[in-house]
Amino acid sequence: MSPETLTRYVTRHPEILSGEPIIAQTRTSVRAIVSLWRLGIPPEEIVTTHLTHLTLAQVFDALSFYLDHQDDINAYIERNRTPESLVHPIVQSTLA
C-alpha cells in the first residue's frame, strides 16, 4: 500500500498509525498537533518546545487540515483518550 497525500504536508499510510492522518515523512499524527493546540499551546511553541522535528508550515497545515476535518480528527482524539480510571489521582487533581 502506498501513502495517500491529503495536503502539502499531511498524508496517510495504512501501515502507519492504522492510516490516521500524519505529517509526511514522520509518524507525527495530526491528532498530536491538534491536542497540543487545544491545550492552548501556540503553533510557534509546538515547534520550538514540543515537536521540534516539525516546521511551522507543517503545524499550520495540520491545523488547517483539522479545521476542514474536525469530526474525523476529533474521533481519533476520542479513541486515543486515556480513561479517567487510569489517570493517577495527583494528575487528576491538577486537571480539575
pLDDT, one tens digit per residue, over 22-73 is: 999 999 999 999 999 999 999 999 999 999 999 999 999 999 999 999 999 9
We report the CATH number of the domain holding residue 18 as 1.10.10.10
Say what the pTM is.
0.85
User: Who has greater pLDDT, 76 or 85?
Assistant: 76
Number of domains making up the chain? 1
pLDDT of residue 96: 67
Q: Which domain holds residue 76?
A: 4-95
Is the C-alpha dihedral spanning 56, 59, 51, 47 positive or negative? positive
Higher pLDDT, 34 or 83: 34
Strand 10-12 and strand 22-23: pairing?
antiparallel
